Amino acid sequence: MRRLLLASSSPYRRELLSRLQLEFDCSSPEIDETAHPGEQPEQLVRRLALEKTRALGRTHQQHLIIGSDQIAVLGEEILGKPYTFERAKQQLQACSGKSVTFLTGLALLDSQTGTTQVDCVRFTVHFRTLSDQQIERYLQAEQPYDCAGSFKAEGLGVSLFRSTEGPDVTSLIGLPLIRLVDMLNSAGLELP
């Protein structure tokens, strides 16, 4: 059986993939994540997920390599990782009472055959109307500064939501497992 390789250093993606009870390795690919001129958000996440797999495919030639990339979109604005309290507060203020769409690009490369599968999974979060005090309490409690959209859906961040919609809640955390299982099955790795 070919080894699985997660093209990511994200602890969130690693935890999600471990739910499938498969052995896998992790390695962080070195790629330029800058958007190309005129590139639409969905095109961007698909391309970056695929580039992550290809970057590792050169050195891991007998693997099924999983790549994923995610962005959050509010209207026409792409929300990146905030990295600071102030930026996270600004993001959550902007999201208050609105809907944010998360686009998660997913790619699977069979480095032995060169076969690739690429998709994008959409998931929408409808935010409650949040006061500055609610936002500040949340940020102090969870410190989600390394998360696009400034929240952790797998934790207290769910308290910020009015509702959600999408085919796979794990895509919100960064690795859409339902779609990944489809890809792994197509690559000959049957689950469960």
Residues serving a catalytic function are 69
DSSP 135: H
> Which pair of tokens denotes residue 91?
């993001």
Q: Are 34 and 55 contacting, i.e. CB atoms less than 8 angstroms apart?
A: no
Instruction: Return the residue matching tokens 């969870």.
Output: 142
Please confirm whether the linkage preceding 176 is cis (ω < 30° from 0).
Answer: no
Straight-line distance from the first to the last Cα atom of the chain, in angstroms, rounded to the nearest whole number? 15
Q: How far apart are CA 55 and CA 74, in angstroms?
A: 30
8 Å CB contact between 106 and 118: yes
